[in-house]
Amino acid sequence: MSQACVKRSRYRLCTVLLLAGFAMICGRLYFLQVLDAENISSEVESSRKILVKLEPRRGDILDRNGNLLAGTRSRIKLGVDPQVVDTSDVDKLARLAGILDMPFPELMEKCNRKERIDSAGERRTVQWVPLAEIDEDLYDLIRRIDIDGVRGDRFYERYYPGDQMASQVIGFINKEKTPVMGVELALDYYLRGQAGWRETEVDGRRRELAAFREREVESRNGLHVQLTLDLFVQSVIEAAMEDMVGELHPAGASIIVSDPHTGEILGLANYPTFNPNHFWDFPLENQRNRALTDQYEPGSTFKIVPVAAGLEEGVIQPDTIINCGAAEVFYHGVNIRMPNDHRNLGPVPVTTVVTKSSNRGAAQIGMLLGEQRMYEYARRFGFGQDVGWPLAGEISGTLAPVEKWDGLTISRLPTGYAVGTTAMQVHQAMATIANDGVRLRPKLLKEVIDPESQVELPLEPEKGQRVVSVHTARLLREMLMSVVSPEGTASRAALPGYGVAGKTGTSRKIIDGQYSHNHHVGSFSGFFPANKPEVVITVVVDDAQVPGPAYGGLVAAPVFRSIGEKLIPHMAIRKPEKWEPFVVSND
């Protein structure tokens, strides 16, 4: 370009303008790329990049044979968009109503609910009317019908296939996906797994661009927890409970079944109960695991403690004569009034004291032992302390230290009064006798299994604690066999040929601060075969509605027998062919 053709001033002006334009562009670029780069890039990244949380699958709860007790399932909240659905397509909608088991007019009404009036009184368009919560199989059928406007949102929830089966043991997960009670809460650490995450990008419609995944930490599914419960045993005791409740209408009841040699709990049922799949439909108190949370005065089932202690300490022998006719006994300088007996037995051997469940006999054995030994043996058998389960709500019962005893405690404690126990503690004490005097902590957790590798994680083995010698335990077992004989208080618990050993208990409940004559807790705790115990069963029935006192031998012993009959074939418990003496020498 020649300067001759363009005026110099215009030339300069154009040059300046051009340069200024370029400078502005450069400045803007500098601002965008350097000064504001961080903000802009983070804005872009936040709109494109997302962090996806990878949810782990909660571990299953299994019984000892691998049967599912609690699992996770997907369900679908099915709904309809009234603005989209074609209500003239009656054929499809009729099929949908059939699948949902919903009256056709009701479905049509939901499909035609196109508007609603909100709280301000204004008309609003309705775009979602819930129809039902359904399973995957039904959703699949509905999708095959292919109705525009009918769609489902998938969600995951905890599922308990046995419904109320062992519900207080297993516990449940609430709507907020929080474990509330039972094993679900206690072993949540194992069950919940670990969430993962993934950094990825999405397009304008928020669909993932899988090619732009950057970093990923995989989620780790929860571990499976295998309990010692046996689904069959559990169903047997739940059925026996149902029958008993139908007949006796008690205020509450607990049944526990365990293996005495391992301490493994095979079944544990409580009444009233609840269904964890619909926990909101039941009163809160039904969630209580009464076998661990409710204490009661055990009555005569506690007599195994003074008798075992007396035998162990050598203060009595099975044939030692105890005067059960004495109304008062001189003890430590004062006359102590003896508790009442059902009838006056007079002087009888210790075996008869146990067979006939004499309160006076037990009280005198307690006095022979003395306060300190009586208290120590009660503690050794596990009374006054919790069994150490991590399940929330477990109580330790009440066993006052000797310093807090009044003058009558020494005569009342051996009879099972002045002590508060849980059904589990009574069961544990009876299992100690069945296990030749070694107390084992009741065991509920069998294994923890990694679902991916199927590797079982090692658990620390439990150590037993010797409470009484083998000799004492077997002597007592022989005595307890006589309780279930026709002369004993628990003849209704007998399983002919199997040699049941056990002890009944009947205690009066305290109503308005006084012992009631009409409200009782009847119980029976026993095991069989007596010479080689394979199963321990404890039945506690609270306030059974029967004419007269609800004796343990009347309300609980038949339940024991009913359960025992069903467990014999299941557990392959063999009838002892010949009864050889099983009491070992004391030497």
Partner 1 sequence: MSPVIQKEAFLYKQILTLLVVLAVVTVSGCLGLLWMRQKIEITAQATRQLEEEIVKEERRLQFLNNRIASIHQPQYLLKQIEKHRLPLHPPRADQIFYMDGVPAYNRAYAREDRPEEKRRERDPYRYSIDLAVMESLTPID
Our finding on whether 98 is near partner 1 (CB under 8 A) is no
C-alpha–C-alpha distance, residues 125 and 116, integer Å: 6
Nearer to partner 1, 165 or 544 (CB): 165
Phi-psi region of 332 (alpha: psi -120 to 50; beta: other; left: phi over 0): left
- Kindly state whether residue 137 participates in binding partner 1, applying the rule CB under 8 A: yes
Q: Are 423 and 397 spatial neighbours (Cβ–Cβ below 8 Å)?
A: no
d(CA 31, CA 307): 93
Helix (H, G, I), strand (E, B) or coil at 23: helix
State the DSSP code for 522: E
Exposed (0-12), middle (13-18) or buried (19+): which is 491, by Cβ within 10 Å?
middle
In Å, how far from its chain's centre is CA 371? 37
CB-based contacts of 22: which residues, under 8 Å, 6+ apart? none
CA angle in degrees (0–180, nearest 5) for 34-37-40: 155
Q: Could you say whether residue 145 binds partner 1 (CB under 8 A)? A: no
Site string for partner 1, 441-470 (x = CB under 8 A): ------------------------------
Is 64 or 566 the residue whose CB approaches partner 1 more closely? 566
Using DSSP, state whether 478 is helix, strand or coil: helix
Is 72 near partner 1 (CB under 8 A)?
A: yes
Q: Does the footprint of partner 1 cover residue 87 (CB under 8 A)?
A: no
Length of the chain: 587
Kindly tell me which residue out of 116, 213, 342, 517 binds partner 1, with binding defined by CB under 8 A: 213
The reply on whether position 54 binds partner 1 by CB under 8 A is no
Out of 49, 52, 64, 68, name the contact with partner 1 by CB under 8 A.
68
Binds partner 1 (CB under 8 A): choice among 142, 231, 479, 554: 231
Mark the segment that binds partner 1 (CB under 8 A) among 31-39, 71-79, 189-197, 267-275.
Answer: 71-79
Interaction of residue 396 with partner 1, rule CB under 8 A: no
Nearer to partner 1, 138 or 354 (CB): 138
Give me the residue label for tokens 């009280």. 363
Residue 214 in contact with partner 1, rule: CB under 8 A: no
Size of the site for partner 1 (CB under 8 A): 37
Reduce the DSSP state of residue 528 to 3 states and report it: strand
Among 59, 152, 162, 272, binds partner 1 (CB under 8 A): 162
Kindly state the smallest distance separating residue 208's Cβ from partner 1, in Å.
7
Q: How far is the CB of 78 from partner 1 (least distance, A)?
A: 15
The region of 35-43, 230-238, 283-291, 414-422 touching partner 1 under the rule CB under 8 A is 230-238
Residue 368 CB contacts under 8 Å (≥ 6 apart), including other chains:
310, 315, 316
Q: Counting contacts by CB under 8 A, is residue 51 touching partner 1?
A: no
Q: Hey, which residues between 507 and 566 contact partner 1 (CB under 8 A)?
A: 565-566
Q: Which residues pair with 505 in a beta bridge?
A: 523
Residue from 165, 348, 391, 413 that binds partner 1 (CB under 8 A)?
165
Q: State which residue, 383 or 498, has the beta carbon closest to partner 1.
A: 498
Q: With binding defined as CB under 8 A, does residue 102 bind partner 1?
A: no
Exposure string of 312-350, with b = 16+ CB inside 10 Å and e = fewer, is: beebbebebebebebeebebeeeebebbebeeebeebbb
- Contacting positions for partner 1 (CB under 8 A): 57, 67-68, 71-74, 135-137, 140-141, 143-144, 159, 161-162, 165, 208-211, 213, 231-232, 235-236, 238-239, 565-566, 568-569, 572-575
